[in-house]
Amino acid sequence: MKLIELHILQSFPVSCLNRDDVGSPKSAVFGGVQRARISSQCLKRASRVLAHENHAGFEGIRSRHLLLPFTEALSAAGLDADAAVKQAEALCVLFSKKDSKHPEQVTTAVYLSPGEIQQIATAIAGGEDAKKAIKNATRTDAADIALFGRMIANDPNLNVEGASMFSHALSTHKTNNEVDFFSAVDDRKGDAEDAGAGMIGSLEFNSATYYRYVAINLDLLAAPTHLGGLSEDERKDILRAFIKSALTAVPNARKNSMNAGTLPHEVLGIRKDKGQPLQLINAFEKPVSSRGQGFAAASLDEMKAHLASIEKVWGAQGEQHFLTETDGGLDAFIDQLLKD
């Protein structure tokens, strides 16, 4: 397996980037102590949205609202209004069950690109069988589906294994959630009234230095089921956009009250011509101590030491590049990872 791996250290201030079912910052026990956690799903979503904003190849849309886009595409392909609706309804149930309460929706969100929808509609308008039209549709505008994957329970043949792999981000040190007590002032309350707040409440938060891991299976990405229909230069352009979004995207939960926009402290990029994905999270199985100097620098020292230990026993782990040590910054760093 040919791989690009990204080992990312990033500190976030007071924040609640990823909440559980009761609104608390997500956490996990690792190394016998509680760690702050950001789920891989949360990180993927942030990366996908940013890539969608910045690159035309990331046009996939995940939604339960399938009837309208298929109806519009079939109408544009030449079907009259009634035929378009009828065909669209038949198409929708090939992807998911119809929602009995909301006829314009299906019961599960389906990941499709505008190009796929257009190709399917054009083929059906030309007389092709719907299932065959779906199977033959290509995804030249859906790099996000190729990278993040797609699951459709109704038809496993439409499933796409994502070429990217994300870990849950974990703090490199012990982290306890804290509580922010807040009050809101009632601006219309008169001086003669009591001086109490208009409302009071509390929110949990934490702050931590995280290790997170992203890998890209380059062989799978270049497969015919993924982006094999693109040229090598086009795939590299997609990879540049993906790597930039994976490194810079920040989940936007509570962005107005606990904005946590930061950039990574350091990124280790590794290019492997063969091998398997390998995290460096065990560098932090023993919680890092700040030693009065913060967690980021200490975490970087531990990560480098752990990698050296792995290579001493298991051999070289591929061509390595540190972002902050690369002349030319982020673009040059990515170019090094994409070099043949």
How many Å apart are CA 260 and CA 195, to the nearest integer?
33
Neighbours of 83 (CB within 10 A): 14
Per run of 10 residues, the mean pLDDT along the chain (length 340 residues) is 98 93 92 97 96 90 92 94 92 89 89 90 91 81 91 84 97 93 80 73 90 98 92 95 97 85 97 95 97 94 98 95 95 94
The reported pTM is: 0.90
85 belongs to a structural domain: yes
Same domain, 324 and 176: yes
Question: Which pLDDT value is given to residue 134?
Answer: 87
Supply 35's token pair. 């760690």
Cα–Cα distance measured from residue 136 to residue 163, given in angstroms and rounded to the nearest whole number: 20
Predicted pLDDT at 37? 97
| Share in percent of the chain as helix, strand, coil (round to 5) | 35, 25, 40
Report the C-alpha dihedral over residues 38, 20, 41, 68, rounded to 10 degrees. Answer: -150
In a domain, 203, yes or no: yes
Q: For residue range 156-174, list pLDDT tens digits in order.
A: 888 899 999 999 999 999 9
Close Cβ partners of 210 (under 8 Å, ≥ 6 residues apart): 8, 9, 10, 11, 12, 36, 38, 169, 170, 171, 172
Write out the residue range of the structural domain in which residue 178 sits: 3-57+163-185+199-225+235-338
**What total number of domains does the chain contain?**
2
Residues 216, 274 share a domain: yes
> What pLDDT does residue 69 have?
94
Instruction: Give domain status of residue 191, yes or no.
Output: no
The helix or strand, by DSSP H or E, that contains position 33, with its residue range, turns out to be strand 33-38
Within this chain, do residues 170 and 268 fall inside the same structural domain, yes or no?
yes
Answer yes or no: do 316 and 215 share one domain. Answer: yes
Any residues with CB less than 8 A from the CB of 286 and at least 6 apart, and which?
31
Write the CA distances from 277 to 47, 160, 198, 285, integer angstroms.
20, 19, 53, 18
Over residues 273-303, the pLDDT tens digits come to 999 999 999 999 999 998 888 999 999 999 9
Q: Are residues 167 and 312 in the same domain?
A: yes
